[in-house]
Amino acid sequence: MTDIINAILAVRKAQDGGHAEVSISGEDFNRMVWHDGNPTNITNQQIQDKQVELKADFAAKKYQRDRFFKYPTWQDQLDDIYHNGIDAWKATIKATKDKYPKP
C-alpha cells in the first residue's frame, strides 16, 4: 500500500470509523479515484498531514523493530527462566534494551 493510501485509511478511520474506498496510481494526488465518492470529504491537506504523522510515528518506533529481531523467542525466554532463573533472563533482555534504547 502506498503512503497516501495508508494516510487516507487512517484519516477516514479517525473521522467515522469507516473504511475509505479509494485507489491511486503511484503517489500522485491527481491520480486518486474515490470509489465511494469521498463521503467524509477528506482533503489533500488532511492526507499530507497524516502522512507526516505516520512517518514520524514509524521513525519513533525504530527501537521496537530493532529489539523485536534481537530478543530470543518466547520459547527460548521461558527455557532461560526455567534453567537460569528470572535474574538471568532479565540480564538477557536488558542487554537488548540497552543496545536499542527507547528514545
So what's the pLDDT on residue 2?
A: 61
Report the run of H or E that residue 33 belongs to, with start and end.
Answer: strand 32-34
In this predicted structure, the answer to whether residue 1 has a pLDDT above a threshold of 60 is: no
Neighbours of 4 (CB within 10 A): 21
Q: Which of 33-37, 73-77, 79-83 is the least confident region?
A: 33-37
Mean pLDDT over residues 20-43, rounded?
A: 88
Identify the pLDDT of residue 27.
82
Q: What DSSP designation does 18 have? A: -
Sign (positive/negative) of CA torsion 40, 43, 47, 49?
A: negative
Tell me, what's the pLDDT at 69?
92
Using the predicted structure, report yes or no on whether residue 50 has a pLDDT greater than 60. yes
